[in-house]
């Protein structure tokens, strides 16, 4: 490597911390005193900023410390900043530090005074300096020491735990926007000592680069979080750290010197750089509208920031962010039966020229579900003209009605920059026979729409036009169910997720037409599955708690010219966002931008998966199903919530259309509307509250309410009320304004002239237990005041969604307003342990001047066989049990670290019809009692059994006890006891599973 430091033009943005104002006074005095000598002495060269290099109490070898000092001096000489170096901790006093814009801790830490480090006065000066806006740079051993000073550990970001051997390995560069890493390759081969940290700093700092684990590096453990360099805005100042600089040779490497230069310039304030992109709390979520019923499946944002939301039930809604009004622009009016399958409206995208032509494209079923249409429509301000439909493609569309669970997302649409439209229908046939060369189903298609509503086929698809037995529209084939994909704006690569027959989720990066090869896989099979490409080192599984499928989200197209102040930062440019409705989390996938040819530990091709990182981890999601970036650089997410709709009390179940803004260290004012009712007959008085709105810390904010949607301000109170006297649907809007003029809005729909139906489910117990092969019967009772209490209910308007089995058609009950139905499960179904949700919805017919309303009810069923680690919660005097990995356990995990008084709980559970329970346990410890109790750890005893201790000559045991039902639904506690246990004795035992037995009850039962 060359020893020549890289040059960088100094920036005029450098400025001293606020407390360094004394420097100007000293400079003025010096100018007055020395004015007579100006002609006799040469003027010192001007510098853009000054840096102090501190090497006192150094932990590293002296030759490494000297190399660091000389490197920083040479960087300063070549790049126009001043450098002073010292080993003397006495420099840490207010006046001494005031002359510098950044302090470099050169392989040294702020150790205690007894170890040659900073005394109390020096520590106070460093803390004051940083709080006044000063910058701090840490090299390698700066993370060691100062265990007695929490503030310094926070300044560094992490504390050294142990060293790994010095050997070659790869550094993965994650941020190509920050000045310290912008010039580095994606994979950076380095030979030096590696650190592991006592606690990973990922939640509080922004990771710039990470050690590649699994490429030959040893001694780092199995965790995925091994950051190597990071930065943060800390306590008023700036902190930048690199684990590099272990040996003198590092300070002669061109790439490392560039890395160090960028870190110093950023810490000194001379170069801009965002250090909040991956820090917890850097993003703020705003709910634009409640999700409501209708199973939202896709979202798109227009250039004017109107948000379009497609629902499987056929509604295309528009959210106007200026007024917070939600309009139904188009209603294809699919029946509940159609929407219960994976038919209906399944995909949405906007034309690249939408601002001028107002064209949008929908992938949808006809009402019967027998055919599938790819259609173009023309949109107005808040309506879409049904007569404007142009059908580009028509293909068979009957999807399977068999199999359990809610219908999957089975369609996707996206444009590339050349104007080609990609479309995927998923596998919509039974049996699984789509994806052939003459079948448009089960593949990804590519066409070019024409202005007249037709299309042409671009060159380069799999089959040329006129090829016998083929369809030229096919672009990519070989996947089973490509239900979601996106097009990377810069590269044009097609990024798709696909559910495979073995239960794995495939992640595909497609750069050309053809038969698609092995994807990166997650879930279902072990990482070494033969039909999966190698996994990225440390990549977490895409499936989360309770299972689920990973959805392909958008790729961020960063626009530096955007004026939207809270757009996503450049760090995310080119990263692929994915999300998991089951695991309730978002991740970003980064790809290798160029080939890596170093021989050890092997080359890496451009386009290979580089890293998988979590994002928005401080946000709670329920079931995100669609996500898209808007032209403003914000992310828009649709989450249907718990129940796919609104219940009888108007609770939205957490559903909504959300906008996510990057706020960095700041915050937008929040706007949140809570009401006591959202429907009823006129006159209807509604109590509003803005609780939860405004800014934290008592920062003042103003409120402006528009109740009737006329654009005026009807109230400025925080908690007003309003009476609606005419029928119709109204959008009440709250605007909250902060002290800097930033605003936030929230809307709430009010329906006057109609009353939400009330739904009750009978003969199906919440928390009831079932087994594969059961037919679970139930009845639904509907009370709809607006439709009249005596009219029979239309059972076809009731939609049943179940995560198990197959809901059948409902039939009327004689002399009742209810309907009868059942959920059929197959004896051979492979059912995972855990809760399964059943949701029942009914939509009324509305009134003359009032829209229809939907009521819903939901409950949870559980399998009779429960993995012990699938508990809802755990606790006890000793912290509760732990779900530990165990190869021979039925689910790969078992309850471990069980001590006297520990417990787990399952909620909800209904034991109607259950007579006994068997426990699968391992007598690997002291032994003890397993108690089943109702409602609390010391609640009524329902049954108990004994698990022997180790050394009794038995392997795994399966004791059984009779179990009585407490009646009703509640929380079931499993308590582990042995009064003879103490902290010096082993744990009691390990528990693998529970199996409940009993005759089938009137509702869900088990035997």
Write down the pLDDT at residue 954. Answer: 66
| Residue 341 binned pLDDT confidence (cut-offs 50, 70, 90) | low
Answer yes or no: is pLDDT of 61 > 70: yes
Q: What is the pLDDT of residue 800?
A: 87
Mean pLDDT of 107-129: 83
| pLDDT above 50 (res 498) | yes
Among 242-251, 517-526, 569-578, name the one with the lowest average pLDDT: 517-526
pLDDT above 70 for 39: no
Residue 318 pLDDT class (50, 70, 90 cuts): very high
> What's the confidence (pLDDT) of residue 959?
96
43 pLDDT more than 50: no
Percent of the chain with pLDDT over 90: 46
Region 466-491: mean pLDDT is: 87
pLDDT score for 953 = 63
Query: Taking residues 411-428, what's their average pLDDT?
Result: 87
User: Mean pLDDT across the stretch 634-640?
Assistant: 92
Q: Does pLDDT of 602 surpass 90? A: no
Q: Which distant-in-sequence residues (6+ apart) come within 8 Å of 62 by Cβ?
A: none
Task: Report pLDDT for 801.
Answer: 82
Please enumerate in sequence order all residues whose Cβ is within 8 A of that of 291, keeping only pairs 6 or more positions apart, or say none.
638, 639, 640, 641, 645, 652, 653, 655, 656, 657
Residues whose CB falls within 8 Å of the CB of residue 908, separated by 6 or more in sequence, listed in order: 766, 767, 860, 969, 970, 971
Q: Give 184 or 431, the one with higher predicted confidence.
A: 184
Q: Kind of pairing, strands 941-947 and 928-934?
A: antiparallel
Q: How far apart are CA 143 and CA 155, in angstroms?
A: 10
Residue 114 reports pLDDT greater than 70: no
Distance CA(16)–CA(11), nearest Å, equals: 13
* pLDDT > 70 in the chain, percent: 80
Q: Is the pLDDT of residue 291 over 50?
A: yes
Distance CA 144, CA 130 (A): 19
Helix (H) or strand (E) segment spanning residue 968: none
**pLDDT surpasses 70 at 225:** no
Peptide bond before 284: cis, by omega within 30 degrees of 0? Answer: no
Question: How much is the pLDDT for 28?
Answer: 34
Asked if the model's pLDDT at residue 133 lies above 80, the reply is yes
**If pLDDT is split at 50, 70 and 90, which confidence band does 58 have?**
low
Q: Is the pLDDT of residue 257 over 90?
A: yes
Q: How confident is the model at residue 108 (pLDDT cuts 50, 70, 90)?
A: confident
The answer, yes or no, to whether residue 27 has pLDDT greater than 50, is no
* Winning range, highest mean pLDDT, from 10-24, 204-218, 290-304, 847-861: 847-861
Element (H, E) at 807: strand 806-807
Q: Please give the residue that has the higher pLDDT: either 790 or 58.
A: 58
Distance CA(623)–CA(579), nearest Å, equals 9
Convert the pLDDT of each residue in 912-923 to its tens digit: 889 999 999 999
Q: Quick one: pLDDT at residue 74?
A: 97
| pLDDT confidence of residue 399 | 55
Buried-exposed string 989-1006: b where 16+ CB fall within 10 A, e elsewhere: bbbbbbbbbbebbebbbb
Give the pLDDT of residue 694.
87
Rg (CA), the chain: 32
CB-based contact 976:988 (threshold 8 Å): yes
pLDDT by residue (tens digit) across 863-912? Answer: 999 999 999 999 998 889 998 888 788 888 899 999 999 999 999 999 98
**Beta strands per DSSP E along 107-251:** 135-139, 160-173, 187-197, 206-211, 227-234, 237-242
Tokens 């009401």 belong to: 675
Model confidence band, residue 176 (pLDDT cutoffs 50, 70, 90): very high
pLDDT of residue 206: 94
Provide the pLDDT confidence category of residue 696 given band limits of 50, 70 and 90.
confident
Residue 982's Cβ-count burial label (10 Å; 0-12, 13-18, 19+) is: exposed
pLDDT at 691: 87
pLDDT of residue 112: 65
Cα distance between residue 554 and residue 577, in whole Å: 6
pLDDT for 620:
87
Confidence check: pLDDT of 817 > 60: yes
Which has more confidence, 774 or 786?
A: 774
Q: What is the pLDDT of residue 122?
A: 93
pLDDT band at 613 (very low <50, low <70, confident <90, very high): confident
Q: Which of 332-336, 466-470, 827-831 has the lowest mean pLDDT?
A: 827-831
Q: How confident is the prediction for the chain on average, in pLDDT?
A: 82
- The model's confidence at residue 406, banded by pLDDT at 50, 70 and 90, is very low
Q: How far apart are CA 578 and CA 587, in angstroms?
A: 5
Which range (266-275, 580-589, 752-761, 789-798) has the least confidence? 789-798
What letter does residue 533 receive in the DSSP assignment? Answer: B
More confident residue, 974 or 322: 974
Q: How distant, in Å, are the alpha carbons of 771, 835, 909, 993 from that of 866?
A: 11, 9, 12, 6
- Predicted pLDDT of residue 142: 87
- Residue 907: partners with Cβ closer than 8 Å, 6 or more residues away: 767, 872, 873, 970, 971, 972
More confident residue, 317 or 536: 317
Pick the range with the lowest mean pLDDT from 255-264, 353-362, 665-674: 665-674
State residue 395's pLDDT score. Answer: 83
pLDDT higher than threshold 50 for residue 790: yes
> 105, 138 in Cβ contact below 8 A?
yes
Give the mean model confidence (pLDDT) for residues 50-59: 85
- Which single residue is written with the structure tokens 């259309």? 657
Q: How confident is the model at residue 787 (pLDDT cuts 50, 70, 90)?
A: low
């Amino acid at each position: 490597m060359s020893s020549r430091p890289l040059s960088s033009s100094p920036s005029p943005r450098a400025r001293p911390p606020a407390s360094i104002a004394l420097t100007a006074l000293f400079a003025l005095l010096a100018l007055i005193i020395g004015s007579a000598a100006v002609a006799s002495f040469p003027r010192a060269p001007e510098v853009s900023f000054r840096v102090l290099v501190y090497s006192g109490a150094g932990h590293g070898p002296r030759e490494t410390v000297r190399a660091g000092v000389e490197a920083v001096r040479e960087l300063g000489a070549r790049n126009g900043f001043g450098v002073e170096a010292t080993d003397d901790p006495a420099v840490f006093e207010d006046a001494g530090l005031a002359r510098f814009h950044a302090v470099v801790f050169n392989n040294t830490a702020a150790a205690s005074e007894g170890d040659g480090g900073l005394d109390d006065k020096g520590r106070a000066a460093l803390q004051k300096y940083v709080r006044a806006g000063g910058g701090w740079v840490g090299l390698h051993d700066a993370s060691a020491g100062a265990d007695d000073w929490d503030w310094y550990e926070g300044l560094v970001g992490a504390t050294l735990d142990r060293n790994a051997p010095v050997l070659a390995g790869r550094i993965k560069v994650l941020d190509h926007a920050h000045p310290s890493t912008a010039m580095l390759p994606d994979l950076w081969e380095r030979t030096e000592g590696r650190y592991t940290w006592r606690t990973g700093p990922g939640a509080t700092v922004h990771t710039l680069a990470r050690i590649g684990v699994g490429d030959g590096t040893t001694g780092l453990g199995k965790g995925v979080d091994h950051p190597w360099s990071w930065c943060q805005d800390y306590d008023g100042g700036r902190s930048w750290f690199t684990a590099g600089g272990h040996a003198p040779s590092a300070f002669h490497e061109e790439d490392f010197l560039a890395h160090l230069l960028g870190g110093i310039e950023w810490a000194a304030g001379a170069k801009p750089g965002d250090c909040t992109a991956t820090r917890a709390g850097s993003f703020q979520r705003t709910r634009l509208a409640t999700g409501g019923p209708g199973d939202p499946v896709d979202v798109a944002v227009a250039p004017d920031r109107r948000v379009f939301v497609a629902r499987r039930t056929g509604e295309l809604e528009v959210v106007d962010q200026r007024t917070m009004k939600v309009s139904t622009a188009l209603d294809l009016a699919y029946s509940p039966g159609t929407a219960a399958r994976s038919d209906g409206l399944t995909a949405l995208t906007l034309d690249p020229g939408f601002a001028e032509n107002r064209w949008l494209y929908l992938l949808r079923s006809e009402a019967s579900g027998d055919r599938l249409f790819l259609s173009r429509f023309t949109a107005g301000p808040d309506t879409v003209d049904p007569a404007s439909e142009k059908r580009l493609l028509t293909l068979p569309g009957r999807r399977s009605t068999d199999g359990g669970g809610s219908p999957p997302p089975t369609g996707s649409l996206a444009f590339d920059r050349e104007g080609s439209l990609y479309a995927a229908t998923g596998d919509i046939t039974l049996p699984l026979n789509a994806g052939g060369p003459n079948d448009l189903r089960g593949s990804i298609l590519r066409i070019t729409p024409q202005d007249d509503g037709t299309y042409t086929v671009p060159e380069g698809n799999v089959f040329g036009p006129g090829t016998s037995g083929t369809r030229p529209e096919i672009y990519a084939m070989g996947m089973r169910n490509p239900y979601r994909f996106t097009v990377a704006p810069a590269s044009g690569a097609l990024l798709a997720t696909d559910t495979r027959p073995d239960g794995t989720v495939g992640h595909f990066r497609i750069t050309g037409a053809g038969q698609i090869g092995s994807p990166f896989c997650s879930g279902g099979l072990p990482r070494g599955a033969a039909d999966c490409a190698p996994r990225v080192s440390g990549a977490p599984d895409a499936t989360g708690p309770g299972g689920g499928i990973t959805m392909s989200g958008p790729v961020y197209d960063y626009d530096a010219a955007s004026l939207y102040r809270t757009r996503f930062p450049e760090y995310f440019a080119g990263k692929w966002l994915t999300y998991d409705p089951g695991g309730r989390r978002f991740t970003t996938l980064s790809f290798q931008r160029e080939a890596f040819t170093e021989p050890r530990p092997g080359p890496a091709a451009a386009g290979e998966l580089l890293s998988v990182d979590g994002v928005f981890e401080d946000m709670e999601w329920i079931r995100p199903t669609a996500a898209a970036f808007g032209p403003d650089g914000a992310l828009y997410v649709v989450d249907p919530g718990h129940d796919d709709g609104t219940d009888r009390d108007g609770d939205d179940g957490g559903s909504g259309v959300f906008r996510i803004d990057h706020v960095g260290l700041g915050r937008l004012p929040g706007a949140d509307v809570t009401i006591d009712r959202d429907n009823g007959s006129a006159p209807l008085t509604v109590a509003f509250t803005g609780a939860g709105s405004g800014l934290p810390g008592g920062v003042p904010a103003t409120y402006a309410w528009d109740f009737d949607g006329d654009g005026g301000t009807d109230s400025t109170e925080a908690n007003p009320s309003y009476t609606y006297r005419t029928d119709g649907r109204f959008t009440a809007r709250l605007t909250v304004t902060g002290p800097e003029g930033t605003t936030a809005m929230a809307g709430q729909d009010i329906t006057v002239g109609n009353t939400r139906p009330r739904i009750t489910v009978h003969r199906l117990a919440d928390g009831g237990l079932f087994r594969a092969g059961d037919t679970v019967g139930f009845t639904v009772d509907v009370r709809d005041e607006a439709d009249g209490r005596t009219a029979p209910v239309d059972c076809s308007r009731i939609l049943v969604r179940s995560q198990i089995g197959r809901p059948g058609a409902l039939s009327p009950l004689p002399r009742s307003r209810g309907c009868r139905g059942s959920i059929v499960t197959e004896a051979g179904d492979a059912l995972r342990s855990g809760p399964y949700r059943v949701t029942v919805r009914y939509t009324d017919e509305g009134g003359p001047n009032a829209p229809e309303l939907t009521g819903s009810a939901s409950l949870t069923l559980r399998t009779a066989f429960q993995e012990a680690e699938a508990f809802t919660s755990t606790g006890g005097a000793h912290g509760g049990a732990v779900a530990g990995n165990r190869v021979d356990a039925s689910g790969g995990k078992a309850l471990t670290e069980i001590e006297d008084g520990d417990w787990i709980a399952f909620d909800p559970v209904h034991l109607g019809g259950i007579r006994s329970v068997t426990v699968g346990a391992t007598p690997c410890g002291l032994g003890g009692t397993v108690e089943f109790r109702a409602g609390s750890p010391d609640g009524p005893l329902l049954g108990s059994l004994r698990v022997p201790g180790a050394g009794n000559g038995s392997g795994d045991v399966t004791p059984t006890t009779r179990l009585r039902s407490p009646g009703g639904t509640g929380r079931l506690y499993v308590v582990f006891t042995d009064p003879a246990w103490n902290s010096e004795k082993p744990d009691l035992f390990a528990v693998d599973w529970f199996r409940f037995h009993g005759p089938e009850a009137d509702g869900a039962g088990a035997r």
